[in-house]
Structure 1
Amino acid sequence: MSERVLVEQLQSLPDGPVTVSGWVETVRDQKKVQFVILRDETGAVQLVNPATRELAEGATAEDAAALALTESISALTTGTFLTATGVLKHDERVKLGGVEVKIAGLDIAASALPETPIAADSGLDKRLDWRFLDLRQRRNALIFRVQTTLEHAMRTYWIERDYIEIHTPKLMSSPSESRAELFQLEYFGEQTAYLAQSPQHFKQMAQAAGFGKVFEIADAFRADPSFTSRHATEFTSIDAEISWIDSHEDVARMQEELLAAAFAAVKEKHGAEIEELFGLEVTVPTLPFPRIPLAEAREIVAARGYEIPRTDGDLDPEGERQISAHVKETFRHDFVFITDYHAEIRPFYHMQDPETGLTKSYDLLYRGTEITTGAQREHRVEVLEEQARAKGLDPAGLEHYLDFFRYGVPPHGGFGMGLARLLMLLLGESSIREVTFLFRGPTRLAP
């Protein structure tokens, strides 16, 4: 058997023998000719076969082989994986790429059942039940090509600036933030372990270790019984932490540069296909992103006619949409940093201004949805202990974390960002379920 050729390579090849492999997308079994649309991970190609429906008297072995091939094609089911050998021909009349392959032989790797469990109009839950079939669609496969480019561009940004990539534990002996959203499990019968909500404590440990600048793209877990379009119980978190900062502004500048670089890479590699399949243009954000203090943002939202019902002073989802709409109208920008959050609505490890009670932190909103919390961290151990107590946390349960700060830590800060939420907004999807390879939520543990 000749070497397999990817569909995307066919246009650059001369006419002649070729071997392609993939799955059957459609079969048009006409009386005199058969067409098979075969798709692989790079595209689709039309296979063609002049149909032989019966053997005449005196038929040759070649005639019998042609009949057998015709019958094999007639029996093909959607989703069957096969290898086709044949002759490549360039023909501008062929709508699918201007090439087709005249079939000489088929080698069926695995047949599919004739009745598929999902259709084009199936609901999201049904499609998630059969996610491996749903992902065969070109549009859905593109999501994960975009995700790959996005992650690669971010890693490139960091590595070119001498960041260290770390891999932090996902089993923890104590909570990283609060116990309210923790998955708890028995650990060898004698201890209790928790699935990590974030790598927060460990990326701060890297600052105490003198690493300076670190990043991680990895799983995180939240025992949050939420059924919104932007929450999951297991998700991929994009995290970075840097030393020797003056304020959260240093973190914000790094993040906006990171996102601009990542979006530019996506636009360059996938922009045309995203526009074709998702109907939207990838916009590379200009720098710097707008900044608005939280108190001012609340006033702007109120002036737009929306009263935020929350009593903790933060924006609710509709408030986020309203302030983002204002930013789009005023600055023509899809991103906005909301800054100056009160300590009452921030984690204990955010640095606070003792005079104002405000933290050196921000939330980053993208197209009306919060995607990031970033901050300068408190690095003075006695202040950390005091702030933990104010949040109702017992410093004794944070000893391993607090030990990092007892032997010196430079001023530092960082951010955490959900990958699926960023992808959802970038591609204009309505739910992170659409852009997660296998979604996990309160009622979904399979497939």
Structure 2
Amino acid sequence: MEKIYIKDLNNYFNKEISISGFVDKIRDLQYVQFLIIRDSSAKIQVTIEKEEKNKELNEIVSSLTKESTVKVTGLVLEAPKVKLRGMEVIPSKIEVTSVSEDELPIDILDYNNKSNQDLRLDNRFLDLRTERNYLIFKAQTIAENAMRKYWIDHNFIEIHSPKILGTASESGAEVFKLEYFGKTVYLAQSPQFYKQMAMSAGFNNVFEIGPVFRAENSHTAYHATEFTSVDCEMSWIESHHDVMDLEEAVMVNVMKDLKESIGEEFTKTFKNEIKVPEVAFPRIPFSEAKKIIQENYKYIGEKEFDFDRREEELICLYARKKLNSDFVFVIDYPFEARPFYHMLDERGLTKSFDLLYKGIEITTGAQREHRIDVLKKQAELKEIPLESLDFYFNFFKYGVPPHGGYGFGLNRFLMKVFNIDNIRDVTFLYRGPNRVNP
């Protein structure tokens, strides 16, 4: 039998059907009982009159606890007086499929209580049982699907790079070490080197959505030790602007799909709206962005060669107010702030960019240096031992196209779509310095 979701019950008026879900609310009155049943799609009221023919049903409801699961078989009726969707189910059978303990360890609906966050994370399986949280992960699914669809339609292929590495990736800093059959190996910080290997393999355009690991002892609202990274790399580019063109098109596609798929639910639940970009994303050189912040907001950042968090907020505020964009690219960063493999222009600046969205960096990207002699010189400038990168340099010995790409922080993006101030709330199961359970 095909599963019937509660959201679709308006297709079954005056028909007997079966639905399954959690017991959301129970009202046991003198002459009538009401159950609110929910599944991942919606809620419905089940109405049971207290009378002799319903005695067995009445006894089942009287003994029920909230958050138990039930299967209800009954008649779907239009009921304009019922506030919840103007319909109800009159049951002929209620089967209790599992029983919840009477007292829950958390108040599921008290999700704004920040002092309770650790307890909620300890009981994340309960914490996730709200419409609000379900919508976050529904949005994550839609966003990933929109990106995948765009890339596949534009001749990208998906790869799955290894997460266990024999050599520490990129700078070698902030990596997790593992014991591996008598030797030390590392968890991948990013798929960067392997995306570039795919370019040397002639794959042209690739993407990956997968976990990455950062051994940062950071307790901020924006950091996690394991998170989902969205990466892509493309060959035969002229500059980093080609990569930005791609990401802008991808993100407009994502915002359109989000608005079309969950726009109404989003507005109802979060009292806000999903805004599809109306203008091209501004592209502001790093040095110019620094001046804009100093001149307009009288703020001098903590870092000479990079942005601090306050600067990210301020340049986004400027882009929103002056340029009508929630998205802004900051481009052409100094080499001091970037990895050795970013290509340099004639000024000695990197052909790189960050994409900022509503006050936070969600993407870092660049044109990569594909000439092995230049690549080695830049590694030396960063004081990286060349022998530690032998496997990487090997990718560039036998011809490799000019290429570039970016890494996108899916969780940070979701934070800003939903205006949520902590990455823990948009991560299915958060991992941080003090949390590896459940």
Q: How big is the shift at 1:431?
A: 1.1
Partner of 1:112: helix, strand, or coil?
Answer: coil
- For 2:416, which of 421, 425, 432 is the aligned residue? 425
Report the equivalent of 1:434: 425
Report the equivalent of 1:55: none
Distance 2:13 2:373 in 1: 73
Q: How big is the shift at 1:175?
A: 2.0
Give the RMSD, CA atoms, in angstroms. 1.3
Report the equivalent of 2:325: 333
Q: How big is the shift at 1:288?
A: 2.2
Report the equivalent of 1:368: 359
Report the equivalent of 1:117: 105
Report the equivalent of 2:121: 128
1:314-367 per-residue CA deviation (whole Å, 9 max, x = no partner) reads 1110011111111111111101110111111100000012x4220000011101
Report the equivalent of 2:12: 13
Does residue 397 of structure 1 match 2:400? no
Q: Note if contact 2:342-2:368 (Cα within 8 Å) is conserved in structure 1.
A: yes
Report the equivalent of 2:313: 321
Does residue 211 of structure 1 match 2:203? yes
Q: How big is the shift at 1:4?
A: 4.3
Report the equivalent of 2:173: 180
Q: How big is the shift at 1:285?
A: 1.2
Matches within 5 A, 1:243-254: 243-254=235-246
Partner of 2:223: helix, strand, or coil?
Answer: coil
Report the equivalent of 2:140: 147
- CA distance 1:311–1:140, change in 2 (3 Å): closer
Q: How big is the shift at 1:75?
A: 1.2
Does residue 192 of structure 1 match 2:191? no
Q: Note if contact 2:48-2:54 (Cα within 8 Å) is conserved in structure 1.
A: no
Distance 1:184 1:392 in 2: 22
Give the partner amino acid of 1:160.
D
Report the equivalent of 1:255: 247
Deviates more, 1:325-334 or 1:173-182: 173-182
Give the partner amino acid of 2:20.
S
Report the equivalent of 2:153: 160
| Identity across the alignment (%) | 47
Partner of 2:300: helix, strand, or coil?
Answer: coil
TM-score, L = length of structure 2: 0.97
- For 2:94, which of 106, 119, 138 is the aligned residue? 106
Report the equivalent of 2:59: 71
Q: How big is the shift at 1:287?
A: 4.5
Report the equivalent of 1:415: 406
Report the equivalent of 2:79: 91
Report the equivalent of 1:274: 266
Distance 1:331 1:287 in 2: 8
Partner of 1:113: helix, strand, or coil?
Answer: coil
Q: How big is the shift at 1:179?
A: 2.1
Partner of 2:297: helix, strand, or coil?
Answer: coil
Q: How big is the shift at 1:270?
A: 0.4
Q: How big is the shift at 1:311?
A: 3.6
Does residue 312 of structure 1 match 2:304? yes
Give the partner amino acid of 2:244.
A
Deviates more, 1:101-110 or 1:33-42: 101-110
1:389-440 per-residue CA deviation (whole Å, 9 max, x = no partner) reads 1112111011111100011111000000110001111111111111111111
Q: How big is the shift at 1:313?
A: 2.1
Give the partner amino acid of 2:86.
G
Aligned positions, number: 433
1:157-176 per-residue CA deviation (whole Å, 9 max, x = no partner) reads 00001101111101111122
Report the equivalent of 1:137: 130
Distance 1:268 1:3 in 2: 26
Which ranges of structure 2 fall in alignment gaps of 5 or more residues? none
Which ranges of structure 1 fall in alignment gaps of 5 or more residues? 53-62
Distance 2:298 2:100 in 1: 53
Does residue 343 of structure 1 match 2:335? yes
Q: Rg bigger for which structure?
A: 1
Give the partner amino acid of 2:155.
D
Does residue 229 of structure 1 match 2:228? no
Q: Note if contact 2:24-2:36 (Cα within 8 Å) is conserved in structure 1.
A: yes
Give the partner amino acid of 2:235.
S
1:129-161 per-residue CA deviation (whole Å, 9 max, x = no partner) reads 111111110111011111111111110000001
Q: Note if contact 2:208-2:232 (Cα within 8 Å) is conserved in structure 1.
A: yes
1:177-213 per-residue CA deviation (whole Å, 9 max, x = no partner) reads 1222101111111x21111000000000000000000
TM-score, L = length of structure 1: 0.95
Distance 1:286 1:397 in 2: 46
1:58-108 per-residue CA deviation (whole Å, 9 max, x = no partner) reads xxxxx4x73232121011111101101111111121111121111211111
Give the partner amino acid of 1:327.
A
Partner of 2:425: helix, strand, or coil?
Answer: helix
Give the partner amino acid of 1:139.
R
Distance 1:229 1:188 in 2: 36
Distance 2:306 2:18 in 1: 59
Stretches (4+) displaced over 4 A: none
- For 1:242, which of 234, 237, 245 is the aligned residue? 234
